[in-house]
Every structure is written in structure tokens, then in C-alpha cells.
């Protein structure tokens, strides 16, 4: 084996060692990229890097990221999710598992309004976990519903994952948003079916809201609250997604409109003040800086790996995978799923995925379909222990009586449901490709 290919394999191993050693991901990427790149082809690395980094920081589409992050944090800080959960929960409280169904619906709405998983999981954990447990819900089921519903923001547009996948795969953001809409709703529907089935088979785990509590709010008051609380976020979602998918506005323009819309929603709810605005701006700045820090140093890593012949190694490895193109796609999905136990979605997207793209692109497969398969797969990485971020987010706000083992137990059925959803999208590509074709993307 040539020396450069040995260096490429050693580079991957060194990255995981540094990561397990507790170093931040951007530092691991930078150290491995610079050290092994310099060993492989000397100072030429430094001549190639500026153009790659300049391409990241001047990418117009990526400007949508901080705007969507701002939008999500503003909706969380202004307690709009809290209002949604309370009103929808009361409307569905007569059903067994009604509160859990409300959480799933709020996860869909918050995912479509912001796409920020952490904000959704933390918000629903703070406002729903204790009431669910107090009403007799199984602790594992309560934790699993909140974690899984929070991850819907990773597949339902406008998703940060889809924006970055569009950049990596060279697809338009509008195409991926349209392609992800039906699979995202299918996943939410599968969650709903599971909760309803649980209410039929094991009703003691998902009891209905007590009758006295439901009767305390009249039907007229409930209808008024639904109109006041649910309609404004739906209008915002329609304007943001409709303008992108319909080709009226670019993703960055729609994101700016969404950010302004979230400010107006907070203003009309009477919860916008200087303190809230300061928190939102600071939170959006920190999250955006982290994302771009990783994006920039991922360029160092990927450039060095490709220069050392790593891409050719991957292509040779793919040639040994049985089953032709379908076998290669399934192998990629399995690899991404395993990586999701240890890495965040953004590292997987910018480190692992580009290694396989040349092989898939050469096969002529529709990359929009591959992107949706990847997005659904990466969604499971938020739930898979030991490093599932949704689990960490929920544990951070959970009451002491909720044990980590109960959270892990609760998410297992939802991991299985997501893998089943992934299989459906693989088996029926039209679930992802029909809508983009229908609207002419």
C-alpha cells in the first residue's frame, strides 16, 4: 500500500483517538488535517486552503443557517411552544395518549418553524415532562415521545441538516425541502400510530387527561385559544416554506423573513423585551459560530484526506460491497447509523458523507433521494446512546426521579420506528421525489 494511503488511514484513526480524548471536534479536524496533510504533500496544502475556506464563508445559501437558528431560539424564548403544547394537549386530552399526540404535533410545528432540535427538546422537556409523569404516563414513554418529537426538526423543513446537505451534494435547498416534506410527515405519522397503538394495548402507560381538568375549559374558550395560538405559527411556516418550495424566495431571503416573523410573533404575544432579544442574539451567535467553525476546519480535513488518496480507498472498498448500487446505499446507511452512536450529524455530514459522494454520483442515482435517506438516518443519531444529543438535552432539564436508563429505554421503540421510516423511503423513492417533480424542481 502506498505511503499516502497509509497516512490517510492513520489520519482517520488519529481523528477518533483525539475525539475520544475529549478534544473539541473542530480542533480534532484541524490538527489531523494540518499534520497529515503536511506530511503527505507539504506546504502545498496551505496554498489550496484559502480558496476552500473563502468558498464556505461567502456561500450565500449558508447565510440562511444563522437566520433559521435565530428564528428557532426566538420561538423557544418567547414561549410559543409552551402555548402550543398547552392548547393542543387540552384539545386532545380525551384520548389515551392525547398529551403524547399533542407533543408529536408540536414537534412537527416547531420543526417546521425553526428546525433547531435542542430548543424543541429542552422546551418540551421543561413544560411537558413533569405533567406527563404526574398524570400517570410511563416515564420511559414520556421521555421517548419528547426526544423523538424534538428530532422531527431534523427532517421537516426548514432543517439545518437539509441546508448543509444541499451544499455538500450540490442540490438546491428548495429541492431538498420539497423532497423531505412527505418523509418527515410519514415519520410523524408513524409516531402517532405507535402512541395510539400503545393507548389500545397498554392504556395504563398513556392515560387520558382527567375529565375534570378537561371540563374546566369550555369548548368556546378552547376554540378561541386554538385560533390565537396555533394559527400564527402556521402562517409563519406557510410563508417561509411556501416561498422556498414555490420558488418565490431564496432560502436566505425566506430565513430572513422567518426571523422577522418570529420577532413579530413574540411582540404580539407580549413577551418581547430587551432581555429576551439579548438572549436570542447571543444564543444564535454562539450556535452559528460553532457550526461555521466546524465547516471551516472540515475543509482542512477533507482536503488533506483527498490529497492523500483517501477517496480512492473508499471507492476501492465500495467495489467489494455485494448487491450493486442498492448494496452500496445500504452499506452507506449502515455506516452512517453506526457513526451516529459516536459523532454529531454535522461531523458525519462533512467528514464521512463526502467520501462516498463520488461513487454515488458516478452511478447516476438521484442525489436528492440520497440526501433524504441520509437526513432520516442522521435523525436517529440524536436518539442513539451513548452520545445522542436529544438524550443529553432532556436529561439536562429532567427531574431527578427520571433515570438515564429510563430515557434510553423510552427512545428504543422510536429508533426502530425511524429505521422503519428509513426503509420505507429506500423502498419507495417516490416518497421523496414525487413532490419536487410535481412542482417542477
* pLDDT at site 425: 94
Residues of the chain with pLDDT under 50: none
Q: What percent of the chain has pLDDT over 70?
A: 89
388 Cβ partners below 8 Å, 6+ apart? 147, 381, 382, 411
Distances (CA, A) of 314 to 136, 311, 320: 51, 5, 10
CA 253/CA 66 separation, integer angstroms = 12
User: How many beta carbons lie within 10 A of that of residue 229, not counting itself?
Assistant: 18
End-to-end CA distance of the chain: 44
Q: Residue 430: how many CB atoms within 10 A of its CB?
A: 11
pTM above 0.75, yes or no: yes
* Cα(208)–Cα(97) distance, integer angstroms: 6
pLDDT of residue 169: 85
Q: Give which of 401, 387, 384, 338 is closest to 140, Cα–Cα.
A: 401
Q: How high is the pLDDT of residue 419?
A: 94
Angstrom CA distances, 234 to 105, 204, 229, 308, stand at 12, 33, 9, 49
CA distance 371 to 171: 9
> What's the pLDDT at 386?
64
pLDDT at 414: 93
Residue 196 three-state SS:
helix
Closest CA to 206 of 104, 73, 127, 306: 104
Structural domain count of the chain: 1
Model pLDDT, residue 114: 62
Query: What is the extent of the structural domain holding 265?
Result: 3-438
Q: Cα separation of 22 and 61, whole Å?
A: 32
Here the contacts of 23-31 (C-beta below 8 Å, separation 24 or greater) are 25/294, 25/343, 25/344, 25/347, 26/293, 26/294, 26/296, 26/297, 27/297, 29/294, 29/297, 29/298, 29/300, 29/301, 29/347, 29/351, 30/297, 30/300, 30/301
SS (H, E, C) 155-175: CCCCCHHHHHHHHHHCCCHHH
Residue range 369-385, pLDDT digits in tens: 999 999 999 888 888 87
How wide is the angle at C-alpha 202 spanned by C-alphas 199 and 203, nearest 5°?
A: 50
**What's the distance, CA 25 to chain centroid?**
18
Amino acid at each position: 500500500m502506498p505511503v499516502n494511503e497509509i497516512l490517510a488511514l492513520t489520519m482517520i484513526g488519529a481523528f477518533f483517538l483525539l475525539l475520544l480524548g475529549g478534544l473539541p471536534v473542530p480542533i480534532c479536524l484541524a490538527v489531523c488535517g494540518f499534520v497529515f496533510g503536511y506530511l503527505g504533500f507539504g506546504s502545498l496544502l496551505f496554498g489550496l486552503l484559502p480558496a476552500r475556506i473563502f468558498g464556505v464563508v461567502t456561500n450565500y445559501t449558508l447565510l440562511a443557517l444563522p437566520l433559521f437558528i435565530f428564528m428557532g431560539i426566538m420561538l423557544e424564548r418567547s414561549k410559543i411552544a409552551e402555548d402550543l403544547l398547552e392548547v393542543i394537549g387540552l384539545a386532545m386530552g380525551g384520548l389515551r395518549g392525547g398529551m403524547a399526540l399533542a407533543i408529536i404535533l408540536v414537534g412537527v410545528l416547531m420543526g417546521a418553524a425553526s428546525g433547531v432540535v435542542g430548543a424543541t427538546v429542552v422546551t418540551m422537556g421543561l413544560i411537558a415532562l413533569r405533567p406527563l409523569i404526574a398524570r400517570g404516563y410511563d416515564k420511559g414513554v414520556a421521555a421517548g415521545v419528547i426526544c423523538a418529537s424534538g428530532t422531527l426538526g431534523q427532517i421537516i423543513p426548514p432543517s439545518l441538516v437539509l441546508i448543509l446537505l444541499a451544499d455538500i451534494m450540490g442540490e438546491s435547498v428548495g429541492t431538498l425541502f420539497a423532497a423531505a416534506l412527505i418523509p418527515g410527515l410519514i415519520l410523524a405519522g408513524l409516531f402517532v400510530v405507535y402512541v395510539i397503538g400503545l393507548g389500545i394495548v397498554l392504556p395504563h402507560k398513556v392515560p387520558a387527561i382527567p375529565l375534570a381538568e378537561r371540563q374546566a375549559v369550555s369548548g368556546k374558550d378552547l376554540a378561541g385559544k386554538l385560533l390565537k395560538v396555533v394559527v400564527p405559527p402556521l402562517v409563519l411556516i406557510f410563508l417561509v416554506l411556501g416561498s422556498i418550495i414555490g420558488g418565490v424566495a431564496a432560502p436566505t431571503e425566506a430565513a430572513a423573513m422567518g426571523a422577522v416573523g418570529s420577532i413579530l410573533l413574540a411582540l404580539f404575544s407580549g413577551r418581547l423585551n430587551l432581555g429576551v432579544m439579548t438572549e436570542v442574539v447571543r444564543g444564535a451567535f454562539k450556535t452559528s459560530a460553532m457550526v461555521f467553525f466546524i465547516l471551516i476546519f472540515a475543509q482542512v480535513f477533507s482536503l488533506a484526506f483527498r490529497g492523500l488518496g483517501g477517496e480512492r480507498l473508499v471507492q476501492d472498498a465500495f467495489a467489494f460491497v455485494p448487491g450493486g448500487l442498492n448494496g452500496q446505499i445500504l452499506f452507506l446507511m449502515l455506516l452512517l447509523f453506526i457513526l451516529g452512536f459516536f459523532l454529531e450529524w454535522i461531523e458525519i455530514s462533512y467528514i464521512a458523507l463526502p467520501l462516498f459522494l463520488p461513487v454515488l454520483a458516478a452511478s447516476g442515482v438521484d442525489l436528492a433521494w440520497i440526501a433524504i435517506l441520509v437526513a432520516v438516518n442522521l435523525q436517529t443519531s440524536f436518539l442513539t446512546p451513548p452520545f445522542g444529543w436529544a438524550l443529553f438535552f432532556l436529561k439536562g432539564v429532567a427531574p431527578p426521579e427520571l433515570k438515564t436508563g429510563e430515557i434510553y429505554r423510552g427512545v428504543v421503540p422510536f429508533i426502530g420506528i425511524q429505521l422503519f421510516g428509513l426503509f420505507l423511503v429506500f423502498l419507495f423513492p417516490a416518497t421523496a421525489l414525487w413532490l419536487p417533480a410535481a412542482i417542477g424542481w
